[in-house]
Structure 1
Amino acid sequence: MFSRLLGAMNALGTVWIFLLMVLINSDILGRELFSTPVRGTTELLALSIVGIVFLQLGHALMSGRMTRSDMLIENLLIARPRAGRALQGIFNLLGVVFLVIIFWGSLALFEEAIEIGEYVGAAGDFTAPTWPIRLLILIGAAATGLQYLIMAWQDFRFVFAGEK
């Protein structure tokens, strides 16, 4: 069930990327053909990149596409599987800690964005609220932290169950 949620978040991020491509091309065509750019393109792009990253982060981790250096861990997993899984479990627990820190730090920023009505853009031209992206950061950090926790649990279950 959780993997389906991560898959849906990833799919939403992919659709969002497609919509950004349409926005960028519309802005370019508007500038070149009509000398009229699409207002807010720059602001929406800046916000969107952060939103997309946090939407797709958990799925990237779950599917093994998170960037990391595997030189030590891969050799250890082959030569000494229990030790390798223990080290990998520690790595995953550190991932949980890191995402909890991101979540905790972002929660205050989310609350502040709602409280003060924070927006990007120029009043009278184009403005967009920042709270939806800050909410996506919270959702993505929570989902990715939970995925790290699931992976740590699987690693330590392997280590302590005596499986080979």
Structure 2
Amino acid sequence: MLTPFTHLDLSKEAWAHGTRLEYQAEVTINLQARYDNNEPMSGGQVSVFAPGELSEPWMQTYCDEEGFFSFTPDMMRPGLWEVHINHDGHGAVINIPVGDDMPLSGSSSSVTKLQKAIMIGSVLWGFLGTALYFSRRKSGPLPQGGHKDAHT
């Protein structure tokens, strides 16, 4: 059992040698760059641009063998961080929002759904046009005046 005096003495000791703990949570952005065939962009060149500073990269490095790359943005610079990854003439760009309402994940595709729909529509229109062109009836030359019926 501790007497009040001893208890006060221990408290005094604790106050004399106080401690302070601090922490800072840092957000690390993890990216993986892959081609459309799911092959990693091994050794892809990475350029990271801070918000509003697209003229000079904030960081430059390379992806590892599996196409992975990580960086810790400066949380004092909220906004869209732009990441460019290039390899063998192929590349991708992704904008990563950094700040209070930062999403936990995101992705970028080299071709959007709208672009795919337009490409499919264009191919189908091309097939239809080609089929109609070759399916029209071939007849002899048109009479003078350009009409089949010469009386009109």
Give 1 or 2: higher strand fraction. 2
Max Rg structure: 2
Give 1 or 2: higher helix fraction. 1
Per the shorter chain, which TM-score range?
under 0.3
With structure 1 as the length reference, what TM-score do the two structures score?
0.21
